Amino acid sequence: MAVPVLVAALAYAAWRGRRLVPPVVCAAAMAAVPAVVSPLKAAIGRAGPGSLALAPGYPGLYPSGHTATASVAYGAAALLLIPFVRRASVRLGLVAGTVLLNLMVGVALVYCGYHWPLDVAGSWLMCGALLSCAACVIFGSMGSLRSSSSSSDGSASSENCSSGSRG
């Protein structure tokens, strides 16, 4: 379900935004998920909870690939749609809905016994970093969410993504 949501957001952002950088960055973030998760699973090789046994040749369950896929797909879709939403309350609802949906995916995987809580938490942390990098590239390439933004209105700007601290 998560990947089709991202594909729809990619198509909408490419068509409506008439810019290719945000959709390409989000597609690259999604492509990075198996490139990062698979080697980590192979290196760590942790078995699942309870009686869940790994099939011969299966690399392990940490970090959770399902959590990572859902987190990046839904998160990237939100990153793509945020610039098209004018009202701050709707943007907040979009972000809150994305977080809630990803929380439900993680809780369901733990509740059903497919993953340890740390498998899910590790994926969330990894994907948070991946999405933060994507947001810096996307919003840095746009200059800001709005051209007339100021630090007091809560909108993001490329200054937030620069290396080094200010202050």
Q: pLDDT confidence of 21, banded at 50, 70, 90?
A: confident
- pLDDT, residue 154, reads 46
Of residues 84 and 141, the one with the higher pLDDT is 84
Taking the domains of the chain in order of start, what are their residue ranges? 2-47+60-145
Give per-residue pLDDT as tens, 94-120. 999 999 999 999 999 999 888 889 889
Taking the C-alpha atoms of residue 14 and residue 19, their distance in angstroms, rounded to an integer, is: 6
CA terminus-to-terminus distance, the chain: 43
pLDDT digits (tens, 9 = 90+) for 48-69: 787 666 666 677 778 888 999 9
Arithmetic mean of pLDDT over the chain: 81
